[in-house]
Structure formats: structure tokens, C-alpha cells
Amino acid sequence: MIYEYDFLDKNRLRQMMSLFDSGKFIDGAATGPKEKHVKDNTQQDDIEINKIVNQSITKILRQTELFRMHPLNKCSPCFLLKYEEGQHYDDHTDYYEMWGCRTDYTVVITLNDDYEGGEHFIKVGTETIEKKLPAGKALVYPTHFVHGVRPVTNGVRKCITFWLESSISDSTMRYYITELNKVYWQLEGDLDREVLTQFDLARLGIIRHHTTLRN
């Protein structure tokens, strides 16, 4: 249920970092908990830069494996987040809706990896999973999981966060359809064309049956 995808190539990563570093940052309390012991980070507040980033991310998203694996309805606005030394985000869950987008998946795109600490942690049942991905990678997980960010001990953690609404409203079916898609794309080059077509017919039929589209 926790996925990792390539998202930004070197050129796009360089562009995003340039946009990230050129804007004005404000206290992250503008969105989320106000208490510093819970949430301590900053977010970019430049309207024009955020507009460019949102347009770019939406366009790039449609070209990624993430988009191919997960049937999607909507993408929320993006947030450019910065965690400096000592900053963190304690255990929390995100709201069920963000700007008209049901929050089925949380996406965190890593912009840099030259810092220490700042691991993204996700609690799945009794297990706590910590992730620190290379720059350009996207971490994707169900939004209802308790999660957070460990304190940064050296350097600055830079990332882009947004939420996705799946076209599959049932979370169990959403998981199985994603697994089915993974199997299909893994077998694409190995199966006889006729067999693959029959597999695809069944796969797309299941997705179509469980999909609800909305504007």
C-alpha cells in the first residue's frame, strides 16, 4: 500500500528546485495545526510560483507510472514545503477532503536528499515505516495512515506535497486494482498478444465497473 515512483527527471528536478528557491516562505501553521510542537515547517506563499508548479505537476503526473497504476479523478493543489534543522511534523492524519478533492492518496515528491534526519514515517497497523527517497522520487500512500516527518538534524529538507482522489471509492478495491495493474504491466512483454488482450479486457472491465468519475 506504500508505493515509490520516479516522478521528476534531472531537468524537471532542476526547474522545480529553481522555482522552490525563488519564492517567499511562510509559517506552515497557515495550513494545519498551529502548535509548533506538532507541526514546525514552512511553505511557499508565492501565488505565481505555486501556479506554475501546479500546472507542471499536473502535466507531469499524466506521464508517470503512478498515473498508469492508479485510476484517478482529481489532484489537489500542490504545497512546496521546507523543513530546516530541528523542524518536524509529528503524528497526524490528513483531512478527508482538500479543495474539493477527496484525499485517497498522499503524494510527497522529494526535491533534495542532501540533508540528515527528516525521514517521512508512516504507521501501518503496529509497524512504523520510515522513508527517505532520492531526489525526484515520489512517495505515495493512503492518506488515512498516521504519518509525519522526523526532525531534520542537518541541512534542509525540500519537498512538494499534494493529494489525489481515486476514481475507485472503495479502498479495498482500489488496492486490488492497483495490484492487478502492476501484474498487467509486468507481463506486457511476456504474454502472447491474444492472451494479453483478453487479460486487458478483463482488467479494464473491472476498472470500468468500479469507477466513478466526477468533475
The predicted pLDDT at position 189 comes to: 79
Q: Does 119 score more than 90 pLDDT? A: yes
Which pLDDT belongs to residue 35?
Answer: 67
Contact 150, 19 (CB under 8 A): no
Query: Domains of the chain: which residue ranges?
Result: 3-166, 171-210
DSSP 37: T
Helix or strand or coil: residue 136? coil
Distance, in Å, from the CA atom of 13 to the CA atom of 57, rounded to the nearest integer, reads: 11
Residue 153 is which amino acid? T
CA distance 62 to 164: 12
Rounded Cα–Cα distance for residues 65 and 70 (Å): 9
Mean predicted lDDT score pLDDT of the chain = 93
In this prediction the pTM is 0.93
pLDDT at 32 over 80: no
Tell me: pLDDT of 54 over 70: yes
**Set of cell numbers at residue 124:** 501501518
Helix (H) / strand (E) containing 182: helix 171-187
| CATH superfamily, region 3-166 | q2cbj1_9rhob like domain (2.60.120.620)
